[in-house]
Structure 1
Amino acid sequence: MSVLILHRNPFAAFPYRRWLDGDAPGLDGGTPYAGDIVVLAARDKIELAGEEIPGDTGHDFTHLELFDTLDDEAVPARAFALAEEYRITHVIAHHEADVVLAAQLRERLGLDGAWSADIKPFRDKALMKRLARQAGIEVAPHTVPGTAQQARDFAEQHGFPVVLKDRAGYNSIGLSILADRDELEPRLARAYRDGSRDDLLIEAYVPGRMCHVDGLVVDGRTVAAWPSQYQYELASFGADPGPRVDLTLDVDDPLTPRLLALVERTLAALKPEGGRLRTHAFHAEVFHTPDDRLVLCEIAGRSGGAKIREVFETLFGIQLAVQVTRAEAGLPLPVVEGTTDDGAPLRPRCMAGQVLTMKRPGLVRSLPAAPDEEWVKGFWLFAEEGQVIAPASGSADFLTAAVGSAPTRVECERRLRALGARIISETKIVERPGDADATPAPHEQGTEPAEAS
């Protein structure tokens, strides 16, 4: 066996060699991976995380090749050439932007794993919403506006606010929440300056709190899944100076079974019988409206960003990235195989959540010390003192991140909010002349975050 990995993240959180060797909690260990490990990586993501760029010998892969960005139009051809050269048998991709290319490579080479038709319902938001609606799942009114006038007509019919987003977008990149015609018109002028297009989606704004459900499917069966609720607006990343808290829902919360059932129906709607997408993570986002409706926003067939993987590990003892890496490499998953005798999904062993702060432009004068409380399960800094940083470029472009746990949601929220306040108080970023002009407009951004996942 041999694997080709498309890697659009910093390397620190993805020790592929260890995972493939089985050197992780719940794995067999001591069984070195015998095949080639070939990696195509994004230099920009490594540099923006402050990591050192690996040299010819600074890694443990068979072959590492770096592109300035994996959006380079030469990447697909180079990936295919490497797949042929190293006789690749499996393709691994964790980032939303790379799962389509991974599927195309598998299909072209006749390899195991998801092919293009399996991935498309999770990447094409218009198709996703159509399939969900056909299954009786509520989605927001929406259309694919080919022209600016069609977008205006939609706004006139459904009223403001409206949401304009990329049909295959992620991490809120390029997403605009437009309050009125004065905000809509300049956005349309930019979007359609080159004429008609079919890669945008406009939808009615859905009020309410955004929930998300994250889980792991193994051989077509959901073995673990749990809902959480964002305590902030995802699209406010460019203007949010405070801590952003995200919390799991309690076992006895009435929303918990409703969200889990909705996501199971959604997965069934998007995955036709006999499909090749059998083992994968998922990240679904669902609006809970003030009148108690659940409205599907979207679902991805990969694990969530931020520190959702670490929150999931705190809940279940399962690291999603490890399981997906091994599954896509054709290796066993001992930590989840035979998890329950009756086939029911696992239940969480505690409540958990994350608290995040976003980057803002300026000179970093001071950053918080790592917390030493036992309930803090992880803490990450994405800048260094003395560094000049740019503003957040997406909803996953963090300055700090922390994961915590508690017996109940209420206690978890109390702990995370106190920690978030401490992080803010210990962080000092000094604006420099011109920094204010570089701050992105609220609700809109067009470049990709350094820490996207």
Structure 2
Amino acid sequence: MTVLVLHHRGSLVGTPYDQWLADHDGDVLLITSREHLALVGEELPAEGGGYARTAAVDGYETSGELEELALALAREHEIRYVVACQERDLERAAELRDILGLPGQRMDTVLPYRDKVVMKRRALAAGLRVAPYREIECATELVGFAEEHGFPVVLKPRDSAGSVGLRILESRADLDDYLADGFDLYGPYQPNLMAEAFVHGSMCHVDGLVVDGRVVLSWPSQYQYTLASFATDTGPRLDLTLDVGDPLAQRLLAFTEQALGALSGPEHFAFHAEFFHTPEDELVLCEIACRTGGAAIRDIVRTLFGVDPSESWVRAQLGLPLPEWLGRTGPEKLTPRQMSGQLVLMKRPGRVVAIPEVPPAFPWIEKYQVFVGPGQTMKAAAFSSDFLLTALVSGADQAECRARLQVLEEWFLGELVLEPLGGNG
């Protein structure tokens, strides 16, 4: 029962597929991105340990080398499963399963979570509120949308992830500048572009796990910052779980179940859903992905429930045993055992002179990871997961988590020493 793992980006140390699948009967093969291994400072795992075959592909996102290699491996090995946990791998994995006749998620259940226009159409048909939107294939459609819905206007690729390609036009002057210099009918996001009306309010997200078509765990959190500001926001970006007694938590859980029902999905998957909570106390679907959330969201779920959602997702796909309380005929969804909070600091221009690579000995620090070292030069964050620091804390409630994150942030910034870049940095 050979398993082929596709790993687009992020740490392999943090996603040890070979350990997650150590008890399965067969080999584990790995294809990953050479560029992203370099980005996180890791080497390709050696063959002969947990992985029978490993390969790092150049141009992972843009070339066909991944598919060519995957099909070559399929000819050499009896591949029974293709596993992919990152959003930009979901379609490629589905296509490989289709070609090879393998079980697992196919394109019909990938598309509603990857194509935001399809997603919003289905949500609207199910009676869920979404922001007004339009597919954009020419400049006239964009101007017409702005005139109808006003500013700000949010532009994004229909299949974007990690805020890549997202742009907010604040005014008619921004729109004119964009059409003059940024709008390329033949560029990478055309005609894959959509416009949305800006929704005022806070952003909430709900993260969970579906096993055998049933939500077995799920809990909401609330971003304390604007997601699209990653390139300019060097302040603390906090993400806090909602308390068990918060009425908004139950509303978000119910809304999530409705959204999942509208989109349908594979038999087993993790999900990351984002909703606006407006000043008028309404909930509006932003988008939902059939994969685990980024940053430290896996660790948030682990802190809340004691289980890694990605590991459980992978094991469920192969029919491997899960914790008893996540069994295929398990109990009702769980209540979190404690609350959690996340601190993210984005990269910012400067050369790192000193950085605290080891956290202070606070027992409530659940995770602490720095992404640069002394001597490295940083530029402004290029995407929403271009981190300087991520840290996770636990606490009895949201207020305690917030206070602990503030203590940790002040300590970190007090130890961090950056040298400004020169005029050409």
Q: In structure 1, the residue corresponding to 2:79 is in which secondary structure? A: coil
Q: What is the aligned partner in structure 1 of residue 232 from structure 2?
A: 239
**1:86 alignment partner AA:** H
**C-alpha distance 167-364 of structure 1, shift in aligned 2 (>3 A):** same
Alignment pair present for 1:307 and 2:308:
no
Q: In structure 2, the residue corresponding to 1:137 is in which secondary structure? A: coil
* Deviations 1:362-394, CA, capped at 9 Å, x for gaps: 211111241210011111111111112332111
Shift of 1:291: 0.6
- Contact in 1 for aligned 2:348/2:381 (Cα 8 Å): yes
Alignment pair present for 1:71 and 2:61:
yes
**2:58 alignment partner AA:** D
Q: In structure 2, the residue corresponding to 1:98 is in which secondary structure? A: helix
Shift of 1:360: 1.4
Distance 2:379 2:5 in 1: 29
Q: What is the aligned partner in structure 2 of residue 366 from structure 1?
A: 354
Shift of 1:52: 3.2
Q: What is the aligned partner in structure 2 of residue 2 from structure 1?
A: 2
Q: What is the aligned partner in structure 2 of residue 14 from structure 1?
A: 15
5+ residue gaps, structure 2: none
Shift of 1:332: 2.4
More moved, 289-298 vs 195-204: 195-204
Q: What is the aligned partner in structure 2 of residue 444 from structure 1?
A: none
Normalising by structure 2, we get a TM-score of: 0.95
**C-alpha distance 314-179 of structure 1, shift in aligned 2 (>3 A):** same
Structure with more contact order per residue of length (Cα contacts < 8 Å, sep ≥ 6): 1
Q: What is the aligned partner in structure 2 of residue 95 from structure 1?
A: 86
Distance 1:418 1:351 in 2: 17
Structure 1 vs Structure 2 CA RMSD = 1.8
Q: What is the aligned partner in structure 1 of residue 120 from structure 2?
A: 129
* Deviations 1:197-229, CA, capped at 9 Å, x for gaps: 331110000000000000001101111100000
Distance 1:243 1:208 in 2: 19
Count of residues in correspondence between the two structures: 420
More moved, 312-321 vs 48-57: 48-57
Q: What is the aligned partner in structure 2 of residue 423 from structure 1?
A: 412
Shift of 1:14: 1.3
Q: In structure 2, the residue corresponding to 1:245 is in which secondary structure? A: strand
**1:88 alignment partner AA:** I
Distance 1:201 1:259 in 2: 26
**1:255 alignment partner AA:** L
Distance 2:328 2:338 in 1: 18
Residue of 343, 346, 349 corresponding to 1:355? 343
Shift of 1:340: 8.4
Residue of 99, 103, 109 corresponding to 2:100? 109
**1:373 alignment partner AA:** F
**C-alpha distance 363-16 of structure 1, shift in aligned 2 (>3 A):** same
Residue of 223, 227, 232 corresponding to 1:230? 223
Shift of 1:10: 2.0
* Deviations 1:256-288, CA, capped at 9 Å, x for gaps: 0100000000000001xxx6x011100000000
Distance 2:392 2:137 in 1: 42
More moved, 392-401 vs 185-194: 185-194
**C-alpha distance 111-339 of structure 1, shift in aligned 2 (>3 A):** closer
- Contact in 1 for aligned 2:44/2:54 (Cα 8 Å): no
5+ residue gaps, structure 1: 22-30, 437-453
User: Identical aligned pairs, as a percentage?
Assistant: 45
Distance 1:53 1:114 in 2: 27
- Contact in 2 for aligned 1:362/1:435 (Cα 8 Å): no
Distance 1:435 1:207 in 2: 37
Shift of 1:193: 4.5
**C-alpha distance 48-435 of structure 1, shift in aligned 2 (>3 A):** farther
- Contact in 2 for aligned 1:231/1:246 (Cα 8 Å): yes
Q: In structure 1, the residue corresponding to 2:43 is in which secondary structure? A: coil
Distance 2:424 2:317 in 1: 43
Alignment pair present for 1:194 and 2:182:
no
Q: How does 1:428-443 map to 2 (within 5 A)?
A: 428-434=417-423
**2:119 alignment partner AA:** M
**1:328 alignment partner AA:** Q
